[in-house]
Structure 1
Amino acid sequence: MKINKILTAMLLIQGSSLLLPTMVSAQVVTESAQDSVAAEKSVSKQEKAEDQGLQLEEIIVTGTAGGGQMTKFEASFGITTISQEQMKEIAPQSTADLLGEVPGIFTEGGTAGEASNNANVRGIPSSGGFKFLPLLVDGLPMYEEPEIGFMNNDVFIRADLMTKSVEAVRGGPSAVLYSHALGGAANFITRTGGEEYEGAVKVEVGDWGHLRNDFFVSGPLTDRLTFAVGGFYRVSDGVRDPGYTGNDGGQMRGNLVWTSDDELTKVELHAHMLRDKTIFYQNVPFTIPRVEERPTVDNPARVDNIQDLGIDLANGTLASNDLRTGTIKTAQGDRDYDLANGINPSFDTWTLKFSRDFDTWKIENNMRKTAGVSGFNAIFAGTPVKAEQFTADRERNDVANRAYTAAQQCDLGSVYLSYFGVDENNCGDNLNAANLTEFTNRYRSYSNFALQYADDGSPLDLTNSPYVAFQTLWLAEVEAEMFVDDLRLHTSFDLLGEHNLTFGTYFSNYDLGTQLTITEMITDVTGSPRKLDLVATNASGAQIGPSLTDYGIYRHVNTFLKVDDKHQAFAFYINDDWAITDRLDVNLGARWHQLNIDSNYFFADTGSDITPADVEVGSTSDTLADNSVVGLSGRVQAREIEFNQNGWTLGANFRLLDNIAIFGRVSESFRMPRSEVIWADRTSADPIQTIDQLEGGVKFMGDTFDAFVTVFWNQFRATGNNHEYKDIEDPACQVTDGNLIDLNECRTIQGISRRGTENIGVELETNWRPDLVPGFTLSTTVTWQDPQYSGGNVPIVEPITEEVDGVFVTTGYRTIESGIDGNIPRRFARLMTNIRPSYDLESLTGLPVTVYGAAQYLGERFGEDDNLIIYPDYWYFEAGVMGQINEQFSAQMHVTNLTNEAVLTEGGNLDVNVVTQEGDRNIALGRPLMGRTIKLSLTYEF
């Protein structure tokens, strides 16, 4: 990071830190308010003490329709709450870090960076993002579809001092109350103003060039009108430093809340402005001891004894200053890129909430408008190979093979013949070469192909950079706009108990325009990768023919995607919270949902030659990188489709004692499809994904111990896919050649494959506060599960062969089941544990100091669904200390990854043939946890 940028940020932070309290003090802080600071701190300490338990008596707003107040203890579903006080000890760098505290949710440790991470819930497999776990802010989505390519749901979410708390529901009634919430929902609740003026400014620095300033201020404007405003600005290199500023930006948000004199009417207006840039981290190469035999399901490969390969696993990244900028040639013209733009959402969101209480009725209407654009600029990794092998492969596949074909056909205009001495006298029938090797040795005009650094033309340093790789540059832009309206009508009445009944209507109109280009480039594999050019040279080192690359770019555009989609969703739902007795509560809910999609898909062509007119084809000023650039074909597919689905839920909670309750729930939920199911002539038998769920458990509240245990079972059914096979038992099959049937005469059977999963699991949350050690708290979450694929195997017909006179011949056919039923979905561990001790030393030492830590365990998991490679289990540790300097100032130090452990949260399969120079280790790709970080913060409260 440049020093002037750091100084500018520090001046802004210090200025806001000094100016904000001064402004507030001058306007609102009276002498009596100053005197109340000590009292407020006393209240704060009391709130902190209450936060140490599971807060089972806390009122929740997520997973409930809002017809009446409900506590966690009364809920008939699994829910976890995270308070502002708890967030301090978690000290998350991303939304994924925060949600990783919730049992049943796996977020891969925020390894993608501060945004665009993945979250999976209760063993339900997804390709990434937050597909089955939508993120809400104050009960509404920031964008309706939680899984958009290059715009994951967490792109909209940034926790800061304006975040009052987070509530996360797994299963339960979430899919009845919220769209796409098949697995659950996480709700980020915003701070609003109260009767007293309050605020805070927080300055945070980290050892990765990190500098962040948070603030909020809130209070009354009049007797009936309150306000809250706050946000953050952050600038940092990134834990994996690319050599430039990786993260730069922040958000500002505020709200006004008006309550009528009779307190029956309430109006809220919220505004949120997000302007941020965050770096996206992808897989990096690593090596393990060589696997001699090809892995199988019965004998999978194991990832152990991990070593890096050129890029440090703890702090390294593929991004670098050399790769940062460049120009892409497209069919529409040149396009400059800058990886420093990273993931750069720019959105404005407005929310209007209205409620009015009548005698036995209450009307509630919540509306939200979101509009903006998000860019995605990132490097995706290719598997490194030895430079000599890479060069030989490119010579053979990209040049010699194509030139040999052109020589055989006398295609003398082929650019590939620029590297060979072939003319009209020795091509076609006159070509004196029986095979490719003879052709290359006899006709080539070059001595060899050489890799050169693109910036200065010097040869690749094979001593320090023996490996090279194809990397792909993904450049995407997503324009998004949404309007959503959630109207609820509540009423209460007595009929065999007290009912809080809610009728709801939900409307959402959301548009999406996506454009993507993918570019291939060649780089070395080092801690700061550099672009490489590949050229043919003669014996003296002079270039022969065109360069295969263009300043490191191997193919300017190999993929082009453009799509404009419009969606309109309507839903009706009903929810009844029925208190049958003082101890027995029943919840019933149902939802009908309709989704209309109007999609315009712009087909890409197969690639065209966009060599500039002033460049001589085949000359040394020419390049092959622009000979096949993919662009738009001119064909546009306009399709409209409508989906309808309904779901329901039934739950009950019974208080055995005042501090013990049991609960149970059954539900059938669904998730509406994304627009991509109808892109590019795609068809699906049934694109709506559904799930059946059973869950139940027990909650216990004690003076020193709380527990929340949930046992769950689910059966998930993914998108249905058409499948067909031949019925070899069909009498219509004609027998030929003895007993061998003719498959072409057999009846074709049409079937549907729905590869889903079945999972059973346990989620445990406990909190222990022993009397013998005042101030000590031990919080634990444990998830055990056993997800397996089911329902996805399909019948296929395969030949039966026998060896006859040394030749294998087909003697018949048989029908077998093919698929991966019984396999464990990729990246899912059976066991996840999170242990968080915290010790407030004030009662022991008299000092207002708290020390805390975390020990997180993740069990073994498979890299892919085929279960051919196992990634090892690991422990991950954090620690920190917080202290109250005086009534207004507090400080904190937080350390992540104490052991600086190089462990992988995800990775793909292993090619046993890809080995290191020495041949004793295999090369693969994976995404590791971030290395150790240390951050310090100072907070001023007023």
Structure 2
Amino acid sequence: MQVARSRAYALSVASSIALLASLSTSAQAQQPAAPAPAETPADNQQADIIVTGTAVRAQRRFDVSYAINSLSQRDVQQIAPKSFADLLGTVPGIQVEATGGEVQNVTRVRGIPTDRGYLIFQQDGLPLYHEIDGPFFNSGEGMNRYDLMSERVEIVRGGPAPIFASSAAAIANTITVTGSDVARGKAQITLGDTGLYRLDAMQSGPIGEKTYFAVGGFLRQHEGYRKSGFPSDKGGQIRANLKHDLDNGFIKLSAMYVNDHNLFYLPIPIADPRNPSVSLDQYIDYHRGTLNSPSLRNVNIKYRDGAGVVQSHDRDLADGRHMRFFNAGLDYEGDFDGWRVSAKAGFTKGRSSFDAFYSTTNPVDAVAFATGTNLTNARAAFGPGVARLGYAFAGTNGASVYDPASASGLVLSGQYRMSESKFYSGQADVSVTRRIETGLGTHDLRVGAYGSLYGNTLLQAYQDMLIELRSKPRTLDLVAYSANGAVLGSVTQNGVLRYTTTLNQGKGDAKMLAVYANDTWDVTRGLRIDFGIRHEWYDYDGYALATTQANLGDPTTLADDTTRAFTGAIINQSLHPKATNWTVGADYDFTSNLGIYGRVSNLEVPPQLGVVTSIAPTIVKTKARQYEVGVKASFGRNYLYLTGFYTKFNPFNASFAAFNPVTGQNDQSLPFVGEATVKGVEIDGRLAPVRWFSITGSVTRQQPEYRNLVNTSGADPSSVNGNQIIREAKFFGNVRPAVNVGVGEARLELFGRYDWVGRRYVDFFSKTAMPAYQTVGAGAAVEWKAWRFQVVGDNITNAKGLTEGNTRTDQFAGQGSAEAIYGRPLFGRNVRFILSRSW
């Protein structure tokens, strides 16, 4: 049934693209054929035009007083990223952990210690969902996918980001393809040795006088970088727009639809905790292994509702993150005697279903697990006749015995998490820009207002499963036997160690309004000063259903003895936070090729909507003060942007809940509250000494530290103050050499990529380290007329490297070893073949 639905969806999207492409062909039949635009590399960086973060009209990258990168389709084509996060990893100042799969990976911006780094994604200047995160989805990589409808991506780090987006320490703005008088199109097929099949298509052009269209999207199925026993990614998206030029501007209507499944890869054990020098690679392969398994395709989640009735949900891990949403947008610009009016509006409505198998505790010795507390609890429940506990494959009532000693001698528990959410988000931005000539320079003044109405529902339930230690593990039952081998009961039930240890349900709605102003003052020739301010008002209303602990009453198992249950009580909550952001920057150009700049920005992040849908929320307003100074040089095909930065994140709240293996809940906490500071240098450059060779690179050197932490639970903050921020590297970057030569009528490109990430730690006390790693990628492409064939390989040396650690348990105590033995490893060697044709 699921396959049939996927095929029907694929056919519907493909037919939509084909239909609109045929309409384009028909409309263009009466027009002279236009030559296909040449896709030439961006040889002259001074010609890079950017629009994100600027109060004035589109500007050259060199002219702005903040750090920004613009990645064109040609740039992305050569990088050939596996995911949006992989693409962002080529930009300085952004450290990524692109090991979770195709979407919703981790980005850290200039050391800000959150999994998103307050990096706000936009599409043509507006977010698809107002907040960074909803319940198990985010408005960044979780909702934005790159395809041929992406004309370019502009990434602002620091600078004026807090003025032009809410909660933004950085902005990644995708500028979509828009039609013009020249028709153009492209189709692309991507095949990968990891079972990847992907089709991209795009068509744009005129459909009438001053009226243009663009449409495109992708369909994809992918078995995955790790062997789960079912596809990792399946689905796609379609985007389209219609633009009409007016005498003084334009109006554009746009729409998009996404229906995509993406599997989440989580950490795996890589070494035996009893002896960390012993690898577990023979049981769970470092590069291809995963705890995702076909045994988790029919998981039953049970809890008691507020009326006392046991509810049951059958879940399929293969559904992964299933994101479905529709977005419609309107964009208008007009010039009225020097008054430039801009109005953007968008509305998104969708649903997110989430299924993932999370890592929890380290593997444990199977004998110890069956003879300790579990045996005591079994005798208390099933009587003194319990002689021993033994392992059996789940659901066989003890008949199909499993002997851990025949394998690793270890067993493992993990947490199956389900989440269901419906969401909506309407957002609009209206601004007026005016150039004002004065006796002392020229001011480009922009004033505007942004507003959003958004909300979501949520239902979340987590439960603990017992599994064998191997890739694609089978679920286990821990069975109580009598002396003569009779089954007296079971600690588990159908592989469930503890039913629904975490349970949340609620609904929240938000209204917010922001007003902002920005003045770009050209004081004298070469000197520019920039001021900006933004004030925001929020209004949250929501509720959460209260929970308690309950025994579901099955006398044959202990798995349902400590289950979370709804009490029937409703906790109504409201909150009305505010935030004020500002920025001041200055830029001085000595010549048209050499300049300097400096800037200070203040970012306030109010509590998010989740505080009114949580039972016991932590309400914190966070501030990030960012300072940056830079030197910039651009000479033809060569450029260098050198930026020093200092980020002060305050208050930093390290009161994270840790996983408690006794209760199966995230209820252990060791709170630290203080500051996180990061000082560093970014280098973004390109050297092209000859026409046929160039080398592009980005390097970040930083010092991420905890400062002035206070603990109220008796822990010594001095053991944490000055330590390296969890999962933050001091040194990371990449270098990308390229050769481009003519071979007869064709062109040959050879390119490489060398990435490195320095040493990081999994815990506040820097007890357990994730070693530094380096990876090498390479590729080649041949272009002949309108055709391009490309092959690209990632991690071609099968380098080993860990990311994340095991964040459920190790933030306070490490992993009991000097180097991490549990984490999310790099993907192994993989190759993709890309064939495209432009017209």
Normalised by the size of structure 1, how large is the TM-score? 0.81
* Contact map agreement 1:386 1:466 (CA 8 A) in 2: yes
Q: Counterpart of 2:661?
A: none
Rounded to whole Å, the distance in 2 between the matches of 1:166 and 1:760 is 26
Q: Counterpart of 1:519?
A: 463
The answer to whether 1:61 aligns with 2:38 is no
Question: How many correspondences in the alignment?
Answer: 810
Rounded to whole Å, the distance in 2 between the matches of 1:454 and 1:491 is 70
Q: Counterpart of 2:400?
A: 458
Structure 1: runs of 5+ lacking an equivalent: 292-302, 404-415, 421-444, 612-616, 723-751, 799-815
Rounded to whole Å, the distance in 2 between the matches of 1:860 and 1:709 is 23
* Contact map agreement 1:131 1:146 (CA 8 A) in 2: no
Letter in structure 2 aligned against 1:598: D
Aligned-pair CA distance for 1:6: 11
Instruction: Tell me the C-alpha RMSD between the 2 structures.
Output: 3.0
Letter in structure 2 aligned against 1:276: D
Rounded to whole Å, the distance in 1 between the matches of 2:138 and 2:6 is 29
* Contact map agreement 2:544 2:615 (CA 8 A) in 1: no
| Change over 3 Å in CA distance of 1:480–1:679 after alignment to 2 | closer
Among residues 328, 338, 347, which one is paired with 1:350 in the alignment?
328
The answer to whether 1:860 aligns with 2:769 is no
Among residues 880, 883, 888, which one is paired with 2:779 in the alignment?
880
Q: Counterpart of 2:79?
A: 90
Percent identical among aligned pairs is 30
* Contact map agreement 1:857 1:873 (CA 8 A) in 2: yes
Aligned-pair CA distance for 1:577: 1.1
Among residues 437, 446, 455, which one is paired with 2:386 in the alignment?
446
Aligned-pair CA distance for 1:521: 1.1
* Contact map agreement 2:188 2:201 (CA 8 A) in 1: yes
| Change over 3 Å in CA distance of 1:501–1:637 after alignment to 2 | same
Letter in structure 2 aligned against 1:559: T
Aligned-pair CA distance for 1:906: 2.2
The answer to whether 1:905 aligns with 2:824 is no
* Contact map agreement 1:765 1:781 (CA 8 A) in 2: yes
The answer to whether 1:653 aligns with 2:572 is no
Among residues 148, 172, 180, which one is paired with 2:167 in the alignment?
180
- CA displacement, residues 402-455 of structure 1 (integer Å, 9 cap, x when unaligned): x2xxxxxxxxxxxx1x332xxxxxxxxxxxxxxxxxxxxxxxx13321100125
Structure 2: runs of 5+ lacking an equivalent: 305-309, 656-670
The answer to whether 1:312 aligns with 2:285 is yes
* Contact map agreement 1:677 1:687 (CA 8 A) in 2: no
| Change over 3 Å in CA distance of 1:874–1:846 after alignment to 2 | farther
The answer to whether 1:270 aligns with 2:270 is no
Letter in structure 2 aligned against 1:281: Y
* Contact map agreement 1:711 1:762 (CA 8 A) in 2: yes
Normalised by the size of structure 2, how large is the TM-score? 0.91
Rg bigger for which structure?
1
Aligned-pair CA distance for 1:3: 11
Q: Counterpart of 2:307?
A: none
1:536-575 equivalence runs, <5 A: 536-544=480-488, 546-575=489-518
* Contact map agreement 1:648 1:669 (CA 8 A) in 2: yes
| Secondary structure, counterpart of 1:308 in structure 2 | coil
The answer to whether 1:784 aligns with 2:770 is no
1:405-416 equivalence runs, <5 A: 416=381
1:420-435 equivalence runs, <5 A: 420=384
Aligned-pair CA distance for 1:26: 5.2
Among residues 437, 461, 469, which one is paired with 1:494 in the alignment?
437
| Change over 3 Å in CA distance of 1:504–1:340 after alignment to 2 | same
Q: Counterpart of 1:141?
A: 127
- CA displacement, residues 301-331 of structure 1 (integer Å, 9 cap, x when unaligned): xx99965362111011111112222322232
| Change over 3 Å in CA distance of 1:204–1:304 after alignment to 2 | farther
1:350-749 equivalence runs, <5 A: 350-382=328-360, 383-400=362-379, 403=380, 416=381, 418-420=382-384, 445-454=385-394, 456=396, 457-462=399-404, 463-495=406-438, 496-544=440-488, 546-611=489-554, 617=555, 622-677=556-611, 682=616, 687-718=620-651
The answer to whether 1:122 aligns with 2:110 is yes
Aligned-pair CA distance for 1:398: 2.9
Aligned-pair CA distance for 1:550: 1.7
Rounded to whole Å, the distance in 2 between the matches of 1:280 and 1:876 is 22
| Secondary structure, counterpart of 2:369 in structure 1 | helix
* Contact map agreement 1:610 1:629 (CA 8 A) in 2: no
* Contact map agreement 2:28 2:206 (CA 8 A) in 1: no
Rounded to whole Å, the distance in 2 between the matches of 1:672 and 1:923 is 34
Letter in structure 2 aligned against 1:101: T
Letter in structure 2 aligned against 1:519: Q
Aligned-pair CA distance for 1:924: 3.3
* Contact map agreement 2:183 2:204 (CA 8 A) in 1: yes
Aligned-pair CA distance for 1:888: 2.4
Q: Counterpart of 1:746?
A: none
Rounded to whole Å, the distance in 1 between the matches of 2:632 and 2:451 is 36
The answer to whether 1:329 aligns with 2:302 is yes
Q: Counterpart of 1:160?
A: 147
* Contact map agreement 1:687 1:719 (CA 8 A) in 2: no
| Secondary structure, counterpart of 2:163 in structure 1 | helix
Q: Counterpart of 1:170?
A: 157
Aligned-pair CA distance for 1:394: 4.7
Q: Counterpart of 2:664?
A: none
Letter in structure 2 aligned against 1:630: R
Letter in structure 1 aligned against 2:262: T
| Secondary structure, counterpart of 1:112 in structure 2 | coil
* Contact map agreement 2:272 2:363 (CA 8 A) in 1: no
Among residues 225, 231, 236, which one is paired with 2:222 in the alignment?
236
* Contact map agreement 1:610 1:628 (CA 8 A) in 2: no
1:184-195 equivalence runs, <5 A: 184-195=170-181
| Change over 3 Å in CA distance of 1:862–1:12 after alignment to 2 | same
The answer to whether 1:339 aligns with 2:317 is yes
Q: Counterpart of 1:200?
A: 186
Letter in structure 2 aligned against 1:595: Y
The answer to whether 1:829 aligns with 2:692 is no
Rounded to whole Å, the distance in 1 between the matches of 2:338 and 2:812 is 67
| Change over 3 Å in CA distance of 1:171–1:304 after alignment to 2 | farther
* Contact map agreement 2:378 2:386 (CA 8 A) in 1: no
| Secondary structure, counterpart of 2:464 in structure 1 | strand
Letter in structure 1 aligned against 2:147: D
Aligned-pair CA distance for 1:56: 3.5
Q: Which moved more, 1:650-659 or 1:305-314?
A: 305-314
Aligned-pair CA distance for 1:911: 11
| Change over 3 Å in CA distance of 1:823–1:217 after alignment to 2 | same
* Contact map agreement 2:773 2:800 (CA 8 A) in 1: no
Which structure has more helix as a fraction of its residues? 1
Rounded to whole Å, the distance in 2 between the matches of 1:637 and 1:194 is 54
The answer to whether 1:893 aligns with 2:810 is no
| Change over 3 Å in CA distance of 1:194–1:558 after alignment to 2 | same
Which structure has more strand as a fraction of its residues? 2
* Contact map agreement 1:715 1:757 (CA 8 A) in 2: yes
The answer to whether 1:282 aligns with 2:266 is yes
Q: Counterpart of 2:662?
A: none
Q: Counterpart of 1:924?
A: 821
1:93-108 equivalence runs, <5 A: 93-108=82-97
Aligned-pair CA distance for 1:360: 2.3
- CA displacement, residues 560-591 of structure 1 (integer Å, 9 cap, x when unaligned): 01121111111111101111123111111011
* Contact map agreement 1:346 1:374 (CA 8 A) in 2: yes
| Secondary structure, counterpart of 2:641 in structure 1 | strand
* Contact map agreement 1:793 1:820 (CA 8 A) in 2: no
Q: Which moved more, 1:554-563 or 1:215-224?
A: 554-563
| Secondary structure, counterpart of 2:796 in structure 1 | coil
Rounded to whole Å, the distance in 2 between the matches of 1:386 and 1:469 is 9
Rounded to whole Å, the distance in 2 between the matches of 1:796 and 1:339 is 38
